Amino acid sequence: MEQTQNKVKAWFGQLVDPNEKIFSKQWFKSYALIVFGTLLFVIADVIFAMPYHLAPGGVYGLANVLTALTGTPLTIFLISMEVPLLVIGSIILGPKFGIKTIVSIVLGWVFTHFIETYWGYEPLIHVGEFFTSVQNLPFDAMQITNEARYFIPDYLLNTLIAGLLYGVGIGMIFKSGATSGGSDIVSMIINKYSGISLGTLVIIVDSCIALSTLFITPDLRLPAYSVLLIFIEGKIIDVVIDGFKSYKTVMIVSDNTEAVKTAITNDLKRGSSCFEAKGMYKGVERSMIYITISKREYVQLKKAILDIDPNAFVNVVDSSEVMGEGFKPISA
């Protein structure tokens, strides 16, 4: 009995981040990101994606399709899918999701229920006014409720704004240390037994959910705009997590190493590292310079190398995040 209790305590102990003290500044920051991120995410889904029957992947995307087909509230489908996924995922994968993910999921249910109850699924963005009858109804109008209410859809603008809000919201959730849960759990379970990469599985699962909009209507715009929304969302998530700045990591092999090092030190005011490297083809030993710089500094460096040694070997790699002296401080 005592052994079982210890196992349960250990299991629940893994749900909490040991590096984050309760009510500390970092704790409040993390949970503020979860609250506002989840709210943005739900607004994007209920007010922007759902009225247009878009399915931007994940449990929310599938719930959108099921709600459009049955009329059952989104919250019902979200709870009925996410609770079993969390339980099954925890049994198979262990407590990987943490208390923050659970808080985010529960907040999602609360926000979704509140918005769909007091706002409904009417679009915030549409072209023109609502129509209450089919007389003079534009060909492209859509019915949004069981009543005779129609609106003229603006798919592109709606998709762009939904993707922006989805991306910012999910990015904030990720920055807090939580995960989106949902269909990611399905991908992780399949990954454990199939060996297919997690990234590939996420794309497959989300694409299948986007294609499920064809059950609502054979209109190909729905899956097309759903996929576009997923793409925009992913790009915005990267920006929220990594920021707009991207750096270049440059490796240089030159016959005039000293001149290159001087240009880096004097012109760019940057430090660099130098390694001894041996060519595999001729066995010649040379020095290789390693440096990480901004895009603007890279343009200067490339011009300097062209002037010093046009035959130099230069390998450039994109670095999404660089921390340490001369860059931003290391943070969680």
For the stretch 200-258, pLDDT in tens is 777 788 888 999 999 988 888 899 999 999 889 888 887 887 666 678 888 988 888 88
Tell me which H or E stretch contains 318.
strand 313-319
Confidence bin at 116 (pLDDT 50/70/90): very high
Segment 152-157 long-range contacts (CB within 8 Å, at least 24 positions apart): 152/126, 152/127, 152/128, 153/52, 153/123, 153/126, 153/127, 154/125, 154/126, 154/127, 155/52, 155/221, 155/225, 156/225, 157/125
Q: What is the pLDDT of residue 135?
A: 52
Amino acid in position 289: I
- Helix, strand, coil shares of the chain, percent, nearest 5, are 60, 15, 30
Looking only at the bridges linking them, the beta strands covering 247-253 and 313-319 are antiparallel
Mean pLDDT on 273-288: 78
Token pair for residue 329? 């401080």
**240's tokens:** 């929220």
Extents of the domains making up the chain: 2-242, 247-319
Question: For the ranges 35-49, 187-201, 285-299, which has the lowest average pLDDT?
Answer: 187-201
Each residue's pLDDT tens digit, 122-146: 888 776 555 555 555 555 555 555 5
How many CA atoms lie less than 13 Å away from 22 in the CB half-sphere? 2
Structure tokens at 95: 């407590």
Question: What was the pLDDT predicted at 8?
Answer: 42
Predicted pLDDT of residue 138: 54
pLDDT score of 143: 56
pLDDT over 90, % of the chain: 25
| Residue from 297, 293, 294, 276 nearest 285 by CA | 276
User: What pLDDT is stored for residue 13 in this prediction?
Assistant: 45
- Between strands 247-253 and 150-152, the pairing is unpaired
- pLDDT at residue 79 above 90? yes
Q: What's the average model confidence in pLDDT over 38-58?
A: 92
pTM (two decimals) = 0.73
Ramachandran quadrant class, 251 (left: phi over 0; alpha: psi -120 to 50; beta: rest)? beta
Cβ atoms of residues 301 and 268 within 8 Å? yes
Which pLDDT score, from 0 to 100, does residue 238 have?
78
Secondary element (H or E) of residue 287:
strand 285-294
Confidence band of 159 (pLDDT split at 50, 70, 90): very high
What CATH number does the domain located at 247-319 have? 3.30.70.120
CB 271 within 8 A of CB 327: no
Query: Where are any strands of DSSP class E within 99-240?
Result: 127-131, 142-143, 150-152
Per-residue tokens: 171: 């990015």
Mean pLDDT of 42-53: 93
Q: Are 208 and 200 in contact (CB under 8 A)?
A: no
